[in-house]
């Protein structure tokens, strides 16, 4: 059966061409072996190759096949939890690290785009939009928290101000921030892979890992050979599925879906998002949207928690877009696709080690464009013996999802409750 993963995404249709990476064959020994060619794996590969380590990445499909090549392209600051909440729960040092990690993660993308000349339509500016009056205080709290922790320049809008920055009548208020933005996610991912290759990392595509040995002599086995290493990095996130049970139990794959309209033309696009920011609402199950480089509306929304994908993706997402922008009723939908987001119980990322030589990062909970890039760098620093930030970030180890083999129906039920809350609050 065709799935949301088989649909040609707008990103794939407009991907930067590159010389394909070979399939992994034979036996090889490197300093660091990496499973997964998304942002986490490629970011770590780039940093380590630059530091002089021999590195090999095994990607089961093609680079950016997972969430990194199919996401909303929204480069977010910070985390689901505020820094003040983190300070309350885990103390000042961890909150300081989170401040550093969360506020600098978008800058890391910007630095790489500039340094490696990655063509990925990077734009700055981000709007958090509240549909309900009851959500407006949340925007105020977010604004105050940022100011308190030194992230300045954001701006609050009332209903009429919100109408000026988003061409929709449904918002009661908005918060604009300067340090977040949007990118063409697949082209950024391909650029990252090219940069890592240029620095000497070996990348292999169409090389699914069948067996992970995270013991004292770590290795990754494919159908065609074995990659041994001193260190292992597991960066398969929600796409790793049940291969590593310890990791699988702590994240849940949630399906998220995006549509791309036909190009709207400069004027019509300006009527929707005059200053070309990325936008996200404040609901639990979010709508996220933005304009592409060629002025299409890319609208993401709805989610599936059952592990099953909807049959007609267009009809699944289009009504969400028309709720916000009824004026797009006559517009053709040219692409619809989806992917798996790895979420944790706490919505904080899950970084850590298995034994002495295996590192992992996963579960960015829909906030991972910037954070997965940064996590790859933190893992690379830890491999190099500078693990202070990585260790602080590992303090968020989430509990397993409750319910054992019943966890999927339990989560579906839980999410139904949150959907009702979104409607009723
Ligand atoms: C539809 C959608 C919209 C999203 N929107 C946003 C957004 O707007 N902003 C935001 O911040 N975040 C968003 N996210 C989340 C964000 O994309 C992810 O957090 C981030 O890309 C995670 O990167 P990663 O490298 O950890 O994982 P992935 O990009 O998923 O990479 C994992 C890779 O590992 C490979 N792999 C898995 N198992 C194996 C194996 N056994 N052998 C070899 N390879 C394997 C997979 O093929 C995959 O390429 C979205 C995600 C989705 C799906």
92 CA to centre of ligand 1 in angstroms: 30
Q: Which residues of the chain have pLDDT under 50?
A: none
66 CA to centre of ligand 1 in angstroms: 4
Is the Cβ–Cβ distance between 240 and 248 less than 8 Å?
Answer: yes
Which mutation among 5, 44, 57, 67 tests ligand 1's pocket best, with the greatest number of atoms within 8 A of CB?
Answer: 67
What is the per-residue pLDDT across 337-387, written as a single tens digit (0 to 9) for each?
Answer: 999 999 998 899 999 999 999 999 999 999 999 999 999 999 999 999 999
Distances (CA, A) of 284 to 80, 126, 319: 11, 18, 18
Which mutation among 239, 253, 258, 338 tests ligand 1's pocket best, with the greatest number of atoms within 8 A of CB?
Answer: 239
143 CA to centre of ligand 1 in angstroms: 29
Which of 201, 224, 243 is closest to 32 using CA atoms? 201
Which mutation among 105, 204, 368 tests ligand 1's pocket best, with the greatest number of atoms within 8 A of CB?
Answer: 368
Q: What is the pLDDT of residue 415?
A: 60
Q: What is the pLDDT of residue 5?
A: 76
225 CA to centre of ligand 1 in angstroms: 25
151 CA to centre of ligand 1 in angstroms: 27
Overall size of the chain counted in residues: 425
Q: Which residues contact 91 (CB under 8 A, 6 or more apart)?
A: none
Match 């949340």 to its residue by tokens. Answer: 138
Is the Cβ–Cβ distance between 398 and 344 less than 8 Å?
Answer: yes
65 CA to centre of ligand 1 in angstroms: 8
45 CA to centre of ligand 1 in angstroms: 16
Ligand 1 atom closest to 212 (CA): 41
Q: What is the pLDDT of residue 241?
A: 92
Cα–Cα distance for residue pair 98/339, rounded to 1 Å: 27
Ligand 1 atom closest to 342 (CA): 19
* CATH of 10-409 given 3.40.50.720, 3.50.50.60, 1.20.120.420, 2.40.50.140: 3.50.50.60
Cα–Cα distance for residue pair 236/233, rounded to 1 Å: 9
115 CA to centre of ligand 1 in angstroms: 23
270 CA to centre of ligand 1 in angstroms: 30
Q: What is the 3-state secondary structure (H, E, C) of the chain?
A: CCCCCCCCCHHHHCCCCCCCCCCCCEEEEEEEEEECCCHHHHHHHHHHHHCCCCEEEECCCCCCCCHHHCCCCEECCCCCCCHHHHHHHHCHHHHHHHHHHHHHHHHHHHHHHHHCCCCCCCEEEEEEEECCHHHHHHHHHHHHHHHHCCCCCCEEECHHHHHHHCCCCCCCEEEEEEEEEECCHHHHHHHHHHHHHHCCCEEECCCCCCEEECCCCCEEEECCEEEEEEEEEECCHHHHHHHCHHHHCCCEEEEEEEEEECCCCHHHHHHHCCCCCEEEECCCCCCEEEECCCCCEEEEEEEECCCCCCCCHHHHHHHHHHHHCHHHCCCCEEEEEEEEEEECCCCCCEEEEECCCEEEEECCCCCHHHHHHHHHHHHHHHHCCCCHHHHHHHHHCCCCCCCHHHHHHHHHHHHHHHHHHHHHC
213 CA to centre of ligand 1 in angstroms: 22
360 CA to centre of ligand 1 in angstroms: 13
Residue nearest atom 38 of ligand 1, based on CA coordinates: 240
Which mutation among 5, 71, 301 tests ligand 1's pocket best, with the greatest number of atoms within 8 A of CB?
Answer: 71
Ligand 1 atom closest to 207 (CA): 43
| pTM metric for this prediction | 0.95
Q: Where are the domains of the chain?
A: 10-409
Q: What is the pLDDT of residue 191?
A: 98
Residue nearest atom 14 of ligand 1, based on CA coordinates: 366
Pocket of ligand 1, beta carbon within 6 A:
35-41, 58-61, 65-68, 70-74, 76, 208-209, 235-240, 243, 256, 258, 288, 300, 338-341, 364, 366-369, 372
Q: What is the pLDDT of residue 333?
A: 94
Cα–Cα distance for residue pair 419/283, rounded to 1 Å: 9
Ligand 1 atom closest to 72 (CA): 8
Match 């090219």 to its residue by tokens. Answer: 194
């Amino acid at each position: 059966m065709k799935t949301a993963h088989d649909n040609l995404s707008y990103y794939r249709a407009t991907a930067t061409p590159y010389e394909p990476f070979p399939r992994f064959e034979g036996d090889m020994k490197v300093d660091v072996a990496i499973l997964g060619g998304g942002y986490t794996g490629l970011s770590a590969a780039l940093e380590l190759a630059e530091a002089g380590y021999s590195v090999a990445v095994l990607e089961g499909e093609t680079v950016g096949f997972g969430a990194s090549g199919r996401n909303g392209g929204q480069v977010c600051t910070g985390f689901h939890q505020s820094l003040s909440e983190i300070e309350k729960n885990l103390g000042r040092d961890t909150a300081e690290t989170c401040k550093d990690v969360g506020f600098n993660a978008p800058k890391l993308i910007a630095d790489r785009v500039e340094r490696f000349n990655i063509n990925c339509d990077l734009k700055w500016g981000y709007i958090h939009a509240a549909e309900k009056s009851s959500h407006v205080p949340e925007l105020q709290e977010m604004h105050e928290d940022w100011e308190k922790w030194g992230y300045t320049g954001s701006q609050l809008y009332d209903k009429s101000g919100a109408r000026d920055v988003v061409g929709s009548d449904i918002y009661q208020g908005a918060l604009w921030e300067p340090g977040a933005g949007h990118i063409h996610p697949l082209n950024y991912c391909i650029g990252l892979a090219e940069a890592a290759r240029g620095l000497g990392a070996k990348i292999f595509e169409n090389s699914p890992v069948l067996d992970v040995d995270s013991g004292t002599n770590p290795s990754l086995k494919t159908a065609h050979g074995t990659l041994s290493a001193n260190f292992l990095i597991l960066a398969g996130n929600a796409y790793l599925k049940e291969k590593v049970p310890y990791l699988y139990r702590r994240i849940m794959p949630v399906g998220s879906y995006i549509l791309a309209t036909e190009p709207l033309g400069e004027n019509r696009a300006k009527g929707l998002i005059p200053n070309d920011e990325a936008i996200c609402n404040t609901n639990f199950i979010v709508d996220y949207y933005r304009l592409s480089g060629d002025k299409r509306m890319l609208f993401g929304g709805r989610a599936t928690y059952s592990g099953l994908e909807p049959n007609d993706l267009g009809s699944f997402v289009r009504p969400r877009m028309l709720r916000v922008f009824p004026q797009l009723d006559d517009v053709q939908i040219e692409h619809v696709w989806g992917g798996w987001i790895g979420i944790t119980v706490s919505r904080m990322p899950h970084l850590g080690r298995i034994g002495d030589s295996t590192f992992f990062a996963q579960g960015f909970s829909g906030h991972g464009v910037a954070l997965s890039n940064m996590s790859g760098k933190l893992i690379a620093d830890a491999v190099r013996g500078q693990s202070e930030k990585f260790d602080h970030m590992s303090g968020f180890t989430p509990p397993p999802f409750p319910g054992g083999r019943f966890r999927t129906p339990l989560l579906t039920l839980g999410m139904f409750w949150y959907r009702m809350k979104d409607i009723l609050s």
